[in-house]
Amino acid sequence: MTIDIQNLVRKNILNLKPYSSARDEFKGKNGIFLDANENPFGELNRYPDPYQRKIKEKLSELNQIPTENIFLGNGSDEVIDLAFRIFCEPKKDKVLTFSPTYGMYEVSANINDVELTTLDLDRNFQIDLETLKHYFEDENLKIIFICSPNNPTGNSIKNIEYILENFNGIVFVDEAYIDFSPAESFRNQIKNYPNLIVSQTFSKAWGMASVRVGIAYASEEIIKFYNKVKPPYNISQLNQDAILNTLNDENINLVSENIKIILEEKKRLIQNLEKLDLVKKIFPSDTNFILIEVDNADEIYQKLVEENVIVRNRNPVIKNCLRITIGSPDENEKLIQALQNIDN
């Protein structure tokens, strides 16, 4: 299937002349900089690299993906929002996602005044392809958002390749939790699917949620549009330095070890949850969290709060379900003890 990305892009974005910053016009590192109206004094007086080139070089080396196929955003939320700005004409175009899933797709649709269609996942939290197929012919449907592994259900989504091969719009695959999953990332498929955007983040497996840096992997053509519409300096130098510090061999190894601990703790937590009468179902998880069904989610949530253990109450979005993030071994032990006290 041949897809012309320019036909999907908003006409005003095609014609947009992006803002040219001082660091766009002069890219050198040495000199007397009198071009950006910066204060000549102070340790943080200079604007950061607007394209975060050093980070992209590290990610390129790590994942064997060219820097031209990488965009960095102020959190994954910026990556999501810019997709709306690039491809969706307000009051005209539409996007589609599934329920239950990450709530920012709906929020971004509302902010950008774009109609959102939401399809319910089936009983196994998978996409009903027969229902979805009916929407492929809608020429105003520009983006399908798929969170895989999905939040808040925890499972990986199947049949994404089918959607990529049969939908003429943009397929946005949100892989915030992919580092905890045995599934292969779709970032390796961007060369095969020109309509694919894969979003990842430093917030989860990398343990850098406060830094707010998200990643998009896509065709060079799509990345050019992202760079065209983004704010000039969308990631601060402090945050760029924090990411660069993490992307060295020692810290990468530490991240890998922490992921192993989290996955081992998830197994231990599941084993303990299975012993509790109040737990009715434990859903499959490819993430750093577990979704469980309980007798009375509201009541159990409140009792846990009273024990200073905070989980996420997903009732009534998913009836009587709690989402539990895998904490440190000590934190998980306190959760287990609190649930055992409630269960007795």
Mean pLDDT within 231-252: 96
Helix (H) or strand (E) holding 170: strand 170-174
pLDDT score, position 273: 98
- pLDDT-derived band at 27, boundaries 50, 70, 90: confident
Residue 101 has pLDDT above 80, yes or no: yes
Mean pLDDT within 245-254: 94
- pLDDT-derived band at 38, boundaries 50, 70, 90: very high
Kindly state the DSSP code that residue 182 receives in the 8-state scheme.
S
3-state helix, strand, coil in the chain (%, to 5): 40, 15, 45
Query: Which regions of 180-284 does DSSP assign to beta strands (E)?
Result: 196-201, 214-218, 279-282
Residue 29 has pLDDT above 70, yes or no: yes
pLDDT score, position 28: 85
For residue 123, CA distances in Å to 35, 145, 317 come to 59, 19, 14
**DSSP, residue by residue, 313-342:** E-TTTSTTEEEEE---HHHHHHHHHHHHHH
pLDDT in tens, 79-91: 999 999 999 999 9
The residue assigned the tokens 């060079």 is: 220
Q: Please return the burial class of 324, using the count of CB atoms within 10 Å of its CB with bins 0-12, 13-18 and 19+.
A: buried
Mean pLDDT within 179-195: 97
Residue 218 has pLDDT above 90, yes or no: yes
Mean pLDDT within 37-63: 97
Query: What number of other Cβ atoms are within 10 A of residue 272's Cβ?
Result: 17
Residue 180 has pLDDT above 90, yes or no: yes
Is residue 209 within 8 A of residue 176, CB to CB? The reply is no
Cα 280 to Cα 276: distance, rounded to the nearest angstrom? 9
Residue 177 has pLDDT above 90, yes or no: yes
Mean pLDDT within 205-226: 98
More confident residue, 98 or 27: 98
Domains along the chain with CATH numbers = 10-247 (3.40.640.10), 251-343 (3.90.1150.10)
Mean pLDDT within 318-343: 97
pLDDT score, position 87: 98
